[in-house]
Structure 1
């Protein structure tokens, strides 16, 4: 699949598997792109598989959930573990 199709697949998986609103799933993938998470995928077509998309969707969802938890804890005045 093309690089763009791969990003669409990861976005769709975040939306469908993790019940994240579609707009938020797009933001998660765009933020990962900004942090160069997908550079390897752009350079190596072998990384653009459905199986890899499932792994990347989980990685990005977990990172977004952890970040959201830290933000919520900070807003509540709780320690974030760091």
Structure 2
């Protein structure tokens, strides 16, 4: 499959596997592409398979979840620090 078809497949899998909205899945793939996440896939056609697309969709979603969890923990810590300062 072409590089563009591969990215489309990753995007489609994100919507199917994780019930993500189309816009959110597209943004996630575009952000990863902008961060050069898919450079090897562009350079190596043998990496552009349906099986690899599924692996990449899972990896991108997991990374997004971890980032979200980290941000939530940081916000909780800041909130706790503000509450303690007020006391």
TM-score by length of 2: 0.83
Residue equivalent to 1:69: 69
Equivalent pairs, count: 78
Cα deviation code 1:17-59 (max 9, x no counterpart): 0111111111111111111110000011100000000000000
Residue equivalent to 1:47: 47
Q: Specify every segment of 5 or more residues in structure 2 that has no aligned partner in the other structure, as ranges.
A: 79-87
Give 3-state SS (helix, strand or coil) of 1:70's partner: helix
Q: CA RMSD in A?
A: 1.2
Q: Specify every segment of 5 or more residues in structure 1 that has no aligned partner in the other structure, as ranges.
A: none
Give 3-state SS (helix, strand or coil) of 2:33's partner: helix
Where has structure 1 moved over 4 Å in runs of 4 or more? Answer: none
Residue equivalent to 1:32: 32
Which structure would you say has the larger Rg? Answer: 2
TM-score by length of 1: 0.88
Greater shift in the superposed pair: 11-20 or 67-76 = 67-76
Structure 1 residue 77: deviation in Å?
2.4
